[in-house]
Amino acid sequence: MGHIIADGTMHDHLRGILEPVEIRDPSGKVLGHYTPAVSPEEKAMYQKARALMDPAELNRRLTEEKGTGRSLAEILARLPGAEK
């Protein structure tokens, strides 16, 4: 069987896929099938993480009003030893 080397972009797209998927081009044409090599330990880890996440809570956090936090500069300014 031949192989291709996944560059960073492709690796990012495929990371976290646990089950076989079709890969399609932008027009919808099937290019092939990808079956991930996932160890039982990795699969268990992903399942445990999924069980800890509440999709409704994640959606609420994504849609809640912005601007209630502090900027990174403000946070860094308050860290010990940040005084100049």
Does some domain include residue 15? Answer: no
What are the structure tokens assigned to 77, written together?
């300014």
Does some domain include residue 59? Answer: yes
pLDDT for 43 beyond 90: no
Stretch 60-81: mean pLDDT, rounded?
Answer: 82
Q: Tell me the C-alpha to C-alpha distance, in Å, between residue 76 and each of 55, 66, 67, 80.
A: 31, 20, 17, 9
Average pLDDT of the chain to the nearest whole number:
86
Does some domain include residue 51? Answer: yes
Bridge partners, residue 22, by sequence: 33
Domain residues for the domain of 56 are: 38-64
| Full-model pTM | 0.48
pLDDT for 80 beyond 80: yes
Domain count, the chain: 1
The predicted structure's pLDDT at residue 25: 93
Does some domain include residue 71? Answer: no
Read off the pLDDT of residues 9-21 as tens digits, 9 standing for 90 and up.
989 888 878 889 9
Closest to 3 in 3D by CA, of 40, 37, 38, 43: 37
Does some domain include residue 13? Answer: no
pLDDT for 3 beyond 60: yes
Does some domain include residue 12? Answer: no
